[in-house]
Amino acid sequence: MKNILITGGAGYIGSHICIKLRENGYQPVVFDNLSNGHRDAVASDIAFIEADIRDRAALNKAFTDFKPVAVIHMAALIEAGTSMVAPADFYAVNTAGALNLLEAMRQNGCKHIVFSSTAAVYGNRDTGLLSETLDIRAENPYGRSKAMVETMLADFASIYGFHAIALRYFNAAGADPMGRTGERHNPETHLIPLVLQTAAGQRDHIKVYGTDYDTPDGTCIRDYIHVDDLADAHLKALGFILSSETPALEIVNIGTGEGCSVKDIIVLCKEVTGRDFAVIDDARRPGDPAKLVANPAKANALLDWQPQYPSPRQIIEHAWKYYQSTLKNTR
């Protein structure tokens, strides 16, 4: 059984990837400092290393002890708004931390990596669907910190012989359809769980940041991708790099190709939960692009990947089911 090192494997997306890997004959090895992840999100019989990606000694030991054939690199700071006030943290963890990991990989002879990138590298565009051939125009340090890693991966591929793929995520959401794991950020900043918390009465209201964007209803439009589909994309990407003969970096969007506005999400959450709640309009947040919707054609062709849960309603239904189960378990 092939060992796969997953940095950030105890996080929201990482825990779903662990499930997919085990279901498909791989053995995940989780490397996480638990700053945002949860130890109980990872099965007790999965090898777990509590450490930071900036710790070279811990990384070297992980490679020595487990000899992974590939790395899925998820560990990062992810809040674009926070990056606008604390950019140094994002460059230290996302960019310098990734370089530390890549050097540990090179030192230990592991040259296959799936990288968690982001649609934030595209920034504000007046085009339709976003394709991988567009230039980088990140609006915030978060997006720029990820774009820098893509540049490093390209150099490591061409000079050091790495086989790499960068998956540019759009908006991950939802929960495992079987209810095994879901979104548990603390503090929570993602739209769908915040709206569901409001529907559950744990928040007095939900704020809409910006109602004057150049979109049909004035609110931001995003491409929501089910976390289970996103995990499946990692599995396909892993298979691709492990079977590729030529060192290279591939950059691939992971999204549905359909956009949904903030107001649309709120309406769907009210319908799914059957509950009404207060909505308050607020000012725009710095660094928020008006619209981010993927062109998923490359993922379809290169990875033979198609989302199985493309509907935002399905995403919300799975998230609400998981959220209700966590509420019951904490009472």
Residue 218 lies in a domain: yes
Residue 314 lies in a domain: yes
Interatomic CA distance for residues 70 and 172, integer angstroms: 23
The enclosing domain of 246 has a CATH number of 3.40.50.720
State residue 330's pLDDT score: 46
Tally the domains of the chain: 2
Query: Residues 152, 271: one domain?
Result: no
Query: Residues 9, 154: one domain?
Result: yes
Query: Residues 202, 148: one domain?
Result: no
Query: Residues 91, 200: one domain?
Result: no
What pTM, to 2 d.p., does this model score? 0.93
Domain boundaries, position 216? 191-222+257-293+309-329
- Given a cut of 50, the residues of the chain with pLDDT beneath it are 330-331
Q: What letter would DSSP give residue 274? A: T
252: left (phi over 0), alpha (psi -120 to 50) or beta: beta
Helix 262-273 / helix 312-329 crossing angle, nearest 10 deg: 60
Query: Residues 212, 112: one domain?
Result: no
The residues annotated as belonging to the active site are 142
Two tokens, residue 124 = 């504000």
Query: Residues 138, 164: one domain?
Result: yes
Two tokens, residue 22 = 């085990």
Query: Residues 271, 210: one domain?
Result: yes
Query: Residues 22, 61: one domain?
Result: yes
State residue 1's pLDDT score: 85
Instruction: List the beta bridge partners of residue 31.
Output: 7, 49
Rg for the chain, CA atoms, rounded: 19
| 323 in Cβ contact with 278 (< 8 Å) | no
| 81 in Cβ contact with 189 (< 8 Å) | yes
Query: Residues 37, 110: one domain?
Result: yes
State residue 287's pLDDT score: 72
Query: Residues 98, 152: one domain?
Result: yes
User: How deeply is 173 buried, as exposed, middle or buried, from its count of CB atoms within 10 A (0-12, 13-18, 19+)?
Assistant: buried
pLDDT tens per residue across span 174-230: 999 988 888 886 777 789 999 999 999 999 999 999 999 999 999 999 999 999 999
Q: Closest Cα partner for 50 from 72, 28, 34, 67? A: 34
